[in-house]
Structure 1
């Protein structure tokens, strides 16, 4: 049995429940009654205790001070992902300790850390839409109606499970090619990484500033050039041009187009894409 608090629900405990339910069905009880809490197998976001060995995951007590290396404090979502994430990824079919750790961190950085930050009041002055805001808006208009609130909570769990599944699927795709990308990155020439196949590279290159641009196959379109950050965008003279106009400026014969911001371009041949990628 999982026990979490009653009343209004929040993204951190809803996501934590979704994680655990990926490993098997469990009864979920919403209560602040200490006797009910003591009977639980897993306690989330209530109870005033953090002890992963006994599966207690609350973060509201003054004695809890854990935070990430960048200073972002943990909430229940992050604590549960840290505890169960590797097991979830293994259950989803991801193999390899290195790959699982990569995916664990990827999901935390992409979504869980933000949920924890919001729950700890880090963005209390920020009106931006967020996953936490979306989950919060799913609460019933009045928490006095227990049945109505329970129905809203169940809907939030289902909604959250879909979101989390999509993030995990993407993380697994990224993790499955990270070793391959690291090998490719050893052969960067003049800041350009050339890929023989279209691997998911965009997150990877953000942590490799030595890679300024990537040339990669785009199927029937030819070859793409993708730039790693605004400082590496293609030259102004290419931007916003297509076909003949772009070929006239570049001296090429098969350039297709360059985005008006300069963050990417497409050419028919590998040689032309390499030329654009190395242009200053």
Structure 2
């Protein structure tokens, strides 16, 4: 999927089309996607990329203009024109009356960020695009899961940046300047460049944004989604690892388990939250890691014992009375042992110490 889709994208950006997939029923002029000229932004670039992943618009010409007469001749118009009318394929979000979000258009979705032209196109065509690229049913579980994941972790950011939605209520501690919208912005001519033509930069932006979208889809489809099955299986056999049911064991490291763990805890209605996760690293040693309090925090549910933190190798093994200890991070969020049995002993001792501390505090 990855190579074929990327080849399709590059050909579309060059205006040549791929020659693959469904054809228009009869010969005629290539369809036209209208958007504004001048300085370009990530939202209309992504909107154009997404449309070109649909068979009817695969060979589409992007017409960059603000001329109402030229826009009226386009088959679909994004990010310009002052209209949101999906029946006529008009997808602008700049009009004062526009305040739509994914949630307001699909109440089952939780996201309330105001949509840009990217979000509008994704709302109307995203499931169809994913189904075509993956060869999966549009209403099937794979497309449904990836549709949500890609909106939350790719498209929503672009919607928010374009609409000036702050990431936090307070003053941020540091600047984010390398995100996709910023990189697209830097493809525009500099303010003092003698040449202010934006067409070449727009073509480069189409390739950049389209490539990132396809790469993200490929990762979520081939790595993130299979991880969910792995984590769910581990949760179901957690009592085989430790009688407490608080320790999860994954058969291999590198698995993106955190987000799946939080969602599966809710879906499976676990009576008590998971505390620690065991997994092998690439060297064949084992790690024991605390489950974070939430998906976007460094705070741990159950950090490894304070007296172990920052201690290494033989000194740690003697202190913990567990053979093969390698390290415990200074924050206590993760530790290592040379063997699975040693890592499991570290997890069990951590649970015991918390229980003892709880008994003493009564």
Band the TM-score falls in, shorter-chain normalisation = 0.7 to 0.9
**1:7, 1:143 within 8 Å by CA — same for their partners in 2?**
no
Alignment partners' CA distance in 2, 1:44 and 1:128: 27
Distance 1:141 1:178, change over 3 A: same
Alignment partner of 2:210 out of 147, 155, 161: 161
SS at match of 2:300: helix
Q: Distance in 2 between matches of 1:49 and 1:25?
A: 24
If the length of structure 1 is used for normalisation, what is the TM-score? Answer: 0.86
* CA deviation after TM superposition for structure 1 residue 151, in Å: 0.8
Provide the rounded CA distance (Å) in 2 between the counterparts of 1:145 and 1:17. Answer: 28
Aligned to 2:187: 138
| 8 Å CA contact retained: 2:278, 2:289 | yes
In the alignment, which residue of structure 2 is the partner of 1:151? 200
More RCO (CA 8 Å, sep 6+)? 1
Instruction: Check 1:28–1:219 CA distance in 2 against 1; reply closer, same or farther (3 A cut).
Output: same
- Which of 82, 96, 100 is the matching residue for 1:66? 100
Could you tell me the TM-score, scaled by structure 2's length? 0.69
Gap runs ≥5 in structure 2: 1-31, 104-109, 239-243, 266-272, 293-298, 355-362
| Aligned positions of 1:1-280 closer than 5 A | 1-23=32-54, 24-67=58-101, 68=103, 69-93=110-134, 95=136, 97-123=140-166, 127-129=175-177, 130-142=179-191, 148-172=197-221, 173-188=223-238, 189-198=244-253, 199-207=255-263, 210-229=273-292, 230-232=299-301, 233-278=303-348, 279=350, 280=354
SS in 2 for 1:221: coil
What RMSD, in angstroms, separates the aligned Cα atoms of the two structures? Answer: 2.8
Higher mean displacement: 195-204 or 7-16: 195-204
Cα distance in 2, alignment partners of residues 182 and 94 from structure 1: 25
Q: Which has the larger radius of gyration?
A: 2
Q: Taking structure 1 as reference, are residues 19 and 234 closer, same or farther at Cα in structure 2, changes over 3 Å only?
A: farther
Question: Deviation of residue 143 (structure 1)?
Answer: 10
Distance 1:192 1:94 in 2: 37
Are the equivalent residues in 1 in contact too, given 2:231–2:261 (CA < 8 A)? no
Matched residue of 2:134: which SS? coil
Between the aligned partners of 1:90 and 1:56, the Cα distance in structure 2 is 23
Deviation by residue 1:113-139 (Cα, 9 ceiling, x = unmatched): 121111111139865323222222221
Most deviating of 123-132 and 62-71: 123-132
How far off its partner does 1:25 sit? Answer: 3.8
Distance 1:144 1:56 in 2: 33
